[in-house]
Amino acid sequence: MTILDGKALANDIEKDIKKEIHELATENISVGLAVVLIGDDPASHVYVAKKEKSCEQSGIYSVVHKMPKDISEAKVIKTIEMMNDNPNINGILVQLPLPTHINKDKVLEAVSPIKDVDGFHPYNVGKLNSGLECFVPCTPLGVMKLLAHYDINLRGLDVCVVGASNIVGKPLASLLLQEGATPTLCHIDTKDLASHTKKADLIAVGVGYPGLISKDMVKEGAIIIDIGINRLESGKLVGDVDYEKVAPISSYITPVPGSVGPMTIAMLLLNTLKATKLQNTKQL
């Protein structure tokens, strides 16, 4: 069994990004990321603080627009439009979830597609599903980079993606398909989840349910990608896979924490750098 060390890979990627940002600075090109953070969800604040820290370490200028939970949708959209027009801002990220009175789809559509570093705008979603060059959501992009780094050939593999959200499962299934795998996309209404996972050469799970994938649901030698992040009452962070029991029968596995999470942040920096190059019409 090999541990897919996303933390180490993310560190290497971030070092390369830092170098490139330094080179761009010598040409008077700066890299800027704006984050919209609404309300006081503690997890969202932790994620945004991590993103800010990584930006700072890489030389990306970042600004967080913190807004109260009762802010109007119109004001949020106005702020995004201002950032769309601001040449010092290359990437815009809206931290989810949003308060229920705000229409998430409208807000995400307000982000300019060329600054959409999260890849959530329907323009980028459509391009991704057509296999065209676009901004790819950070978590699935990080998973694909991790698999590529370990030379895992996906062509012909039966893959089971568990969790079908717009930000994780759906784009991941699309990317796996483009690499020649045969994905099955499972979700809360899937009948007999185990019948799908047991057949899979690779299981990627992002649900938010600790221990959902148990040993008896996994084929011997399968590749396991655990995207879930759950905080137990004890304070311990765990994924969606029963790691202790599943790891010994897997061929490759991602630990939680310390693999997909750090890759997600590295991909945000990479997408922000990509946006900057695009906006300065530099070659990617």
Least Å distance, CB 260 to ligand NAD, is 4
**Residue 164 marked as a ligand binder:** yes
Q: How far apart are CA 4 and CA 146, in angstroms?
A: 7
Packing angle, helices 42-58 and 6-26, rounded to 10:
50
Least Å distance, CB 74 to ligand NAD, is 25
Candidates 62, 95, 112, 264; binder of ligand NAD (CB under 6 A) is 264
Q: What is the DSSP letter of 241?
A: B
Whether a cis peptide bond, with omega within 30° of 0, leads into 97 is yes
Residues noted as catalytic:
51, 95, 118
| Closer residue to ligand NAD, CB minimum distance, 31 or 217 | 217
Least Å distance, CB 79 to ligand NAD, is 23
* 128-157 binders of ligand NAD (CB under 6 A): 139
Does 258 participate in binding ligand NAD (rule CB under 6 A)? Answer: no
Candidates 34, 38, 107, 162; binder of ligand NAD (CB under 6 A) is 162
Does 165 participate in binding ligand NAD (rule CB under 6 A)? Answer: yes
Least Å distance, CB 88 to ligand NAD, is 27
> Which token pair is 126?
């459509």
Does 164 participate in binding ligand NAD (rule CB under 6 A)? Answer: yes
Q: How far apart are CA 65 and CA 153, in angstroms?
A: 41
Beta bridge partners of 185: 161
**Residue 110 marked as a ligand binder:** no
Determine the 3-state secondary structure of 173 from DSSP.
Answer: helix
Contact map string, positions 55 to 94, toward ligand NAD, x by CB under 6 A:
----------------------------------------
Q: What is the DSSP letter of 98?
A: P
Least Å distance, CB 257 to ligand NAD, is 8
Q: What is the DSSP letter of 100?
A: T
Packing angle, helices 169-178 and 122-129, rounded to 10:
30
Using alpha carbons, list the distances in angstroms from residue 161 to 44, 156, 172, 245, 272.
25, 15, 8, 20, 27
The closest of 38, 64, 69 to 51, measured between CA atoms, is 64
Q: What angle do CA 12, 16, 17 make, to 5 degrees?
A: 115
Stretch that binds ligand NAD, among 34-42, 59-67, 148-156, 158-166 (CB under 6 A): 158-166
Does 188 participate in binding ligand NAD (rule CB under 6 A)? Answer: yes
Q: What is the DSSP letter of 213?
A: B
Question: How many distinct helices (H) and strands (E) make up the chain?
Answer: 10, 11
Question: N- to C-terminal Cα distance for the chain?
Answer: 36
Stretch that binds ligand NAD, among 26-34, 101-109, 200-208, 273-281 (CB under 6 A): 200-208
Does 48 participate in binding ligand NAD (rule CB under 6 A)? Answer: no
Does 186 participate in binding ligand NAD (rule CB under 6 A)? Answer: yes
Query: Cα 135 from chain centroid?
Result: 11
Does 211 participate in binding ligand NAD (rule CB under 6 A)? Answer: no
Stretch that binds ligand NAD, among 1-9, 60-68, 206-214, 271-279 (CB under 6 A): 206-214
Q: Which residues are annotated as a binding site for NADP(+)?
A: 163-165, 188, 229
Chain positions contacting ligand NAD, by CB under 6 A: 139, 162-165, 167-169, 186-188, 190, 193, 206-209, 212, 227-230, 260-261, 264
